Amino acid sequence: MAQDPPAQDLMHYEALAQDALRGVVKAALRRAASPEGLPGSHHFYITFKTDAAGVSGPPDLLGKYPDEMTIVLQHQYWDLAPGETFFSVTLQFGGQPKRLSIPYAAVTRFYDPSVQFLLQFEAPPAAPAEAKPLAVAPAPAPVETPPEGPAEGGPKVVSLDQFRKK
């Protein structure tokens, strides 16, 4: 007795679930962008595909991470602007403010270590070379300039390369 093949998912439930969970990322970023900022000890590690359609930022920075990049939103981020389909943020890299614009669809991992909350997403397809934006305009210097190095007990920059799968 032959079994019928499984029915084809014409509703694309997996994609619908991924979109709904990306809504959690959007809501968390909206809360972080509010005047109150991040509550308590919450902070975010956001990993995204740098070659995904719509990702923009300084070419020198994106060139260092041709596949994937993780940013941390904790103490030193400025101008966080969560939109409907993407978010923008200014972070410091090598002491220089740099603006990134990241579509939610490019996000592959969202992690809040303060509460051990992790969301993982399917990687989006890479954008064709001609469809990629070249760069965004350099961001103006932030109004509050953070201290030069990490202060005692202050935030520390940690390379996540040792944790990446090879």
Query: pLDDT digits over 2-59, tens only?
Result: 677 888 988 989 989 999 999 999 999 999 999 988 999 999 999 999 999 999 999 9
Q: How far lies 27's CA from each of 43, 124, 142, in Å?
A: 14, 21, 24
> pLDDT > 70: what percent of the chain?
75
pTM of the predicted model, to two decimals?
0.72
Least confidently predicted of 5-9, 61-65, 74-78: 5-9
Q: Are 133 and 86 in contact (CB under 8 A)?
A: no
CA distance 33 to 69: 21
82 belongs to a structural domain: yes
Which residues share a beta bridge with 97? 92
27 belongs to a structural domain: no
Per the listing, tokens 């959690």 go with 24
CA neighbours closer than 13 Å in the CB half-sphere of residue 18: 15
Instruction: Return the closest-CA partner of residue 134 out of 112, 101, 97.
Output: 101
CA distance 135 to 62: 9
124 belongs to a structural domain: yes
152 belongs to a structural domain: no
105 belongs to a structural domain: yes
98 belongs to a structural domain: yes
CATH assignment at residue 46: 2.30.30.220
Q: What range defines the domain where residue 96 resides?
A: 41-133
69 belongs to a structural domain: yes
Q: How far lies 6's CA from each of 1, 14, 73, 120, in Å?
A: 15, 16, 43, 26
Residue 142's pLDDT band (cuts 50, 70, 90): very low
11 belongs to a structural domain: no
Number of domains, the chain: 1
**In 31-59, which positions are buried (b, 16+ CB within 10 angstroms) versus exposed (e)?**
ebbeeeebeeebbbbbbbbbbbbbbbbbe
- The DSSP secondary-structure symbol of 107 reads E
